[in-house]
Amino acid sequence: MTAAAAYPAPLITFGPRVRKSPFFEATRRYGCRAYSVYNHMYMPLFFEDPVTDFWHLVEGVTLWDVACERQVEISGPDAAQFVQLLTPRNLSKFAAGQCKYGLITNHQGSVINDPILLRLADDRFWLSVADSDILLWAQGVAWHSNLRVEITEPDVSPLQIQGPKSLQLMRKLCGGWIDELRYYWFRETDINGMPVVVSRTGWSGELGYEIFLRDGNSGDDLWEYIMASGAEFEIAPGAPSMIRRVEAGMLSYGGDMRGNANPYELGLDRLVDLNQITNFIGKSALQGIHAQGITRKLCGLQIHGEPITSNEQHWPIHGATGHVGHVTSAVYSPRLKKNIALAIVDLEHTAIGTELSIDIGPTNSLANVVKYPFYDPKHELVRGS
């Protein structure tokens, strides 16, 4: 048992200061047992318990309130040029109707967000952001850019439908065209008269879809319509599963990176194009990092011993030379029957098989560096293959 597990879980109170999603009352009505705060909004964590919710996700279909995944809309004649200024990913082949995973870097080359980008039109984009104030960042950059753009937060609130039965439910909600929707593409449509954008994306490592509601007044109606439609598939309310996303090696902003890690340390080199013409924010810093090389990197760990609880803070890691890094995300996988973790570790201690010591609580736990993703490494499930 970790030190944190020895204490009862504290309550979280609801007040007017923290924003509530259009689906908030529905999540309470359906028995959400724990919330966090994400992008200044309450976000469900689990309904029954994390393990039961995990099995609902990987064996059936689940509905998530992820309205905290706020949209930053960038529009105007120079919108495409401005979005490219924000990210090191080359967007020259970014088509309308397409989604792309991207990074936002600061002048030091550090990752300060990792949104999904949606291109609604040649001059209109959404950044579906992680937990940091990118609306304010983009507005500040726009003020000094001399580019013709408008930066706003539209009335858009996402839900996610995730799990192996998600396609069956989406056929019922949207019709046969959903079969033709390619991975990381989207379509503007409506569900039972409610305006939405439907994308084939998600944060589960499973087959899944996102439904971006474009009318916050319809939140309760959309939630209930989806739950009723999914009854025949035994749909369950859920939330982003830490177990499943660590299995899949999916990074969490704020947990696995906090604005002090660069793309090369995180293994996200593919999202950086130093040869593009645009002098994006952080380009010169990333050129220097690329030339010099990194001294630490993200790796996978298997932690030995009894099942652990997920980490509430970064756990220190020790090697033969002393402190060598920290665990960023750790869980017990009931499917793999192993303790698995993501960690930032000094480069010389990241060879597969390297033995390390994790400072979890009163005693240290032994761990070994292993390959990740830990499950479905080719991401065949999420692609429906």
Q: What is the pLDDT of residue 3?
A: 45
Look at residue 384 and tell me whether its pLDDT is greater than 80: yes
Q: What percent of the chain has pLDDT over 90?
A: 92
Give the model confidence (pLDDT) of 282-307 as tens digits: 999 999 999 999 999 999 999 999 99
Rounded Cα distance between 192 and 174, Å, is 9
Look at residue 168 and tell me whether its pLDDT is greater than 80: yes
Structural tokens at position 145:
């850019």
Q: What is the mean pLDDT of residues 17-30?
A: 97
* Torsion sign (Cα): 217, 168, 243, 69: negative
Average pLDDT, the chain: 95
267 phi-psi bin (left φ>0, alpha ψ -120 to 50, beta other): left
Give the model confidence (pLDDT) of 123-137 as tens digits: 999 999 999 999 999
- Count CB-CB contacts under 10 A for residue 258: 14
Q: What is the pLDDT of residue 6?
A: 58
3-state secondary structure at position 82 = helix
Give the model confidence (pLDDT) of 307-347 as tens digits: 998 998 999 999 988 999 999 999 999 999 999 999 999 99
Structural tokens at position 150:
């408008």
Give the model confidence (pLDDT) of 105-114 as tens digits: 999 999 999 9
* Torsion sign (Cα): 98, 100, 105, 111: positive
Q: What is the pLDDT of residue 5?
A: 53
User: Domains plus CATH for the chain?
Assistant: 4-68+155-246 (3.30.1360.120), 71-152 (3.30.70.1400), 295-385 (2.40.30.110)
Give the model confidence (pLDDT) of 210-228 as tens digits: 999 999 999 999 999 999 9
Rounded Cα distance between 366 and 346, Å, is 17
Q: What is the pLDDT of residue 261?
A: 96
